[in-house]
Structures are given as structure tokens and as C-alpha cells.
């Protein structure tokens, strides 16, 4: 799973992930080990969050536990690095790959 996520990050490819039984469209930016849990974690920007998981907006930054990602679908869309992206993520201890 980490390899597929890193490939998407390197190619700046928008992906769809199935997470907690819901499909989410995201721009993947970073994969590494979470500071608190040491679990592989994805930092991504939600392009289209499910209504019940929108935390007051349809687009926002989010951390996803890689082990909870049930499936990944590639899309034909690519993305540009967002101005508010910080490649030094305080939540991630060890980085596997990053945009």
C-alpha cells in the first residue's frame, strides 16, 4: 500500500481511497510514521470529503492511517502543490516519501 501511495505522490496523482467503508478523493502529499502511534500514515488533502466527515468544509487536510485504507484507485487527474502545504509535518516522525 505504501508503495502505491508513494508512486501517486511522486506523480502528483489524485487518487481515490476507500477508508472506513467510504470512498474519498484525495491529493496525497506525504507517507511516514505517525509520532504518537508509529503507524504508517498518509497526509493528504481532501478534494471531496463525504458529507458526514466534512469537519465544516468539503476540502481540507487530513491524516489517514495506512492500515485502514481498504483500497486505492488511481485517477487521471494530477495536482499542483498547494501553497499551504508544509513538507515538515510535526505529526510524522519518519518520512517514507513526500511531495
The residue ranges of every structural domain in the chain are 2-98
Q: What is the pTM of this model?
A: 0.88
Measured on CA atoms in the order 70, 76, 81, 82, is the torsion positive or negative? negative
Strand, helix or coil for residue 9: helix
Give mean pLDDT, residues 24-34: 97
Detail the DSSP E strand segments found in 1-99.
13-19, 22-34, 40-48, 61-65, 69-78, 92-98
* Stronger pLDDT, 19 or 50, i.e. the higher one: 19
pLDDT of residue 86: 92
Residues 6+ apart with CB under 8 A from 76: none
pLDDT at position 60, please?
87
Report the candidate in 35, 10, 31, 24 with the shortest Cα–Cα distance to residue 72: 24
Amino acid at each position: 500500500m505504501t508503495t502505491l501511495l508513494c508512486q501517486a505522490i511522486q506523480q502528483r496523482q489524485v487518487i481515490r481511497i476507500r477508508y472506513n467503508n467510504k470512498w474519498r478523493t484525495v491529493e496525497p502529499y506525504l507517507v511516514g510514521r505517525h509520532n504518537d502511534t508509529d503507524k504508517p500514515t498518509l497526509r493528504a488533502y481532501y478534494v471531496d470529503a463525504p458529507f458526514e466527515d466534512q469537519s465544516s468544509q468539503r476540502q481540507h487536510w487530513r491524516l489517514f492511517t495506512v492500515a485502514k485504507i481498504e483500497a486505492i484507485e488511481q485517477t487521471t487527474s494530477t495536482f499542483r502543490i498547494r501553497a499551504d502545504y508544509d513538507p515538515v509535518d510535526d505529526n510524522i516522525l519518519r518520512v517514507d516519501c513526500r511531495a
